[in-house]
Amino acid sequence: MTLRETADVLASQNYPLTADELADACGDHELDYPDGEEALEVLIERTGEQRFESARDATFAVYGVLDAAAVGRIGYSDRDPMPMGTNGPRQVSF
């Protein structure tokens, strides 16, 4: 499943939940990476959290422990403009 689907799965739970309860409820879902997949249960365990008060807390915690493989090429984006206040390469149109 995608990251957006992961957030939806986490949001479908009734909080507060312990990390063990959350892992039991939705840990069997697999996140799809560009070159593999990882069980949501593994990510929940990796957060180190004991309890989640809300879906937002759980989502941010899971997103925070994602492996670099989850986002593909690091530092690469051919569509996003540079953030305001930063200097970077000029966009090139092919």
Q: Would 25 be classed as within a structural domain? A: yes
Question: What is the total count of domains within the chain?
Answer: 1
> Which pLDDT score, from 0 to 100, does residue 27 have?
80
> Which pLDDT score, from 0 to 100, does residue 88 have?
64
Indicate whether 23 pLDDT > 90. yes
User: Are the C-beta atoms of 3 and 63 separated by less than 8 Å?
Assistant: yes
Q: Would 38 be classed as within a structural domain? A: yes
Q: Which residues, in sequence order, are CB contacts of 36 under 8 Å at separation 6+?
A: 69
Q: Would 7 be classed as within a structural domain? A: yes
Q: Would 45 be classed as within a structural domain? A: yes
Q: Would 76 be classed as within a structural domain? A: no
Q: Would 26 be classed as within a structural domain? A: yes
SS3 17: strand
- Domain with 32, as residue range(s), is 3-67
Indicate whether 90 pLDDT > 70. no
Burial 14-47 (b: 16+ CB within 10 A, else e): ebebebebbbebbbebebeeeeeebebbebbeeb
Q: Would 22 be classed as within a structural domain? A: yes
Indicate whether 78 pLDDT > 80. no
> Which pLDDT score, from 0 to 100, does residue 36 have?
84
